[in-house]
């Protein structure tokens, strides 16, 4: 991974004043930046729903009930990841460092995914070097998709905006079966490679086997529906989770409004870290209470990238400060309705598949 050196610009002053204002807000309110009573309720709610739907699924008496509870559990687990796992990974779900680690590890590992791998990649790569090829692990280097101008343009890329939704269905399946598994041998479709410690490799394999055990083997053993029914539920669940996941996150960094900055030969980038976050992230309906509650603040992605040390339950209160200071320091805060961000995502795919030199759209408020 290329570690970058940032410059100083208007983003530096924005970031300094933003932190001062946000610190003052929490100090005057006498509250912590971590989760509050609402967050504790959400932790109990989502983990409770995970367990409830699993118990209902494993005790289903009809195939219809089995499919219904299986898919409801899938949605609940995904919402747990959005609302609990993510903030816990940043150490802000609760005050305790120990319980943040426990919440994060438990929720991720029991999904069959490795918490260590995701947390390290997310915090030390994606958050630091967002959208910078060779530094951000979430920048795809997949021959089926062209996501940056440095990737070769193939004839079939002109259709990627059409076949993308179909391939998105396999995002979760790919992550579970291939992405992390290939990382064991230091290979992946991402732009950087990582090495996984031996104990984490063991955990990765064990938790994947456990996941297969309670999501496939146990239902086959306990229920009378047969293995085809269980396998179909398993794959339908992953297809549904994949579409929701990509729909929530894909529009934030893959848009014809955002930039994919490049570093020079000395790994220097001609902007500050805060400005990088502002020009590589799109927010949609950032002041929506519904999206904040269900998506755990993922819709306010620029805000989260700038202030990962603040729990999402506080976003709606500090958003006015964020907007005000972005305007004051001349930074373009790209905020729009979800429909507009989704359209920008598909325009990006189409342009990347047809233009050798991608022309970014200009965002106008």
pLDDT digits (tens, 9 = 90+) for 291-306: 999 999 999 999 999 9
pLDDT at 114: 79
State percent of the chain over pLDDT 70. Answer: 96
How does DSSP assign 165-225, residue by residue?
HHHHTTHHHHIIIIIHHHHHTT--SBSS-----HHHHHHHHHHHHHHHIIIIIHHHHHSTT
pLDDT digits (tens, 9 = 90+) for 266-292: 888 899 999 999 999 999 999 999 999
Alpha-carbon distances, residue 301 vs 108, 279, 323 (angstroms):
21, 11, 13
pLDDT at 1: 61
Contact 282, 296 (CB under 8 A): no
pLDDT digits (tens, 9 = 90+) for 323-365: 999 999 999 999 999 999 999 999 999 999 998 887 787 777 7
pLDDT digits (tens, 9 = 90+) for 46-102: 999 999 999 999 999 999 999 999 999 999 999 999 999 999 999 999 999 999 999
pLDDT at 240: 96
pLDDT digits (tens, 9 = 90+) for 29-47: 999 999 999 999 999 999 9
Residue 90 CA, chain-centre distance (Å), reads 13
pLDDT digits (tens, 9 = 90+) for 127-139: 888 888 878 777 7
pTM (2 d.p.): 0.90
How does DSSP assign 314-343, residue by residue?
GHHHHHHHHHHHHHHTT----EE-HHHHHH
Average pLDDT, stretch 247-255? 92
CA distance 299 to 255: 14
pLDDT at 18: 97
């Amino acid at each position: 991974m290329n570690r970058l050196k940032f410059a100083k610009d208007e983003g530096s002053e924005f970031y300094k004043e933003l932190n001062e204002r946000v610190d003052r807000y929490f100090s005057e309110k006498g509250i912590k930046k971590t989760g509050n009573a609402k967050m504790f309720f959400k932790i109990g709610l989502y983990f409770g729903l995970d367990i409830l739907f699993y118990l209902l699924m494993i005790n289903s008496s009809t195939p219809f009930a089995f499919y219904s509870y299986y898919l409801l559990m899938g949605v609940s687990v995904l919402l747990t990841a959005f609302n609990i796992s993510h903030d816990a990974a940043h150490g802000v779900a609760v005050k305790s460092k120990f319980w943040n680690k426990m919440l994060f590890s438990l929720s991720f590992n029991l999904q069959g995914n490795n918490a260590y791998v995701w947390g390290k990649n997310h915090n030390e790569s994606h958050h630091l070097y967002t959208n910078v090829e060779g530094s951000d692990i979430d920048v795809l280097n997949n021959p089926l998709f062209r996501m940056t101008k440095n990737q070769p343009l193939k004839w079939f890329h002109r259709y990627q905006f059409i076949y993308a939704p179909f391939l998105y269905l396999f995002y979760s399946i790919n992550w579970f079966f291939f992405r992390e598994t290939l990382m064991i041998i230091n290979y992946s479709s991402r732009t950087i490679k990582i090495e996984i410690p031996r104990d984490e490799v063991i955990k990765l394999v064990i938790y994947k086997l456990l996941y297969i055990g309670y999501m496939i083997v146990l239902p086959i053993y306990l229920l009378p529906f047969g293995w085809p029914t269980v396998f179909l539920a398993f794959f339908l669940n992953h297809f549904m989770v994949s579409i929701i996941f990509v729909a929530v996150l894909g529009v934030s960094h893959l848009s014809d409004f955002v930039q994919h900055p490049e570093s020079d030969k000395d790994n220097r980038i001609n902007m500050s870290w805060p400005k990088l976050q502002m020009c590589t992230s799109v927010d949609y309906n950032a002041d929506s209470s519904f999206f904040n509650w269900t998506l755990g603040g993922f819709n306010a992605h620029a805000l989260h990238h700038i202030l990962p040390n603040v729990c999402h339950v506080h976003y709606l209160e500090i958003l006015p400060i964020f907007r005000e200071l972005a305007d004051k320091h001349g930074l373009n805060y790209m905020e729009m309705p979800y429909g507009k961000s989704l359209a920008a995502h598909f325009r990006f795919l189409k342009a990347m598949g047809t233009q050798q030199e991608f022309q970014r759209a200009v965002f106008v408020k």
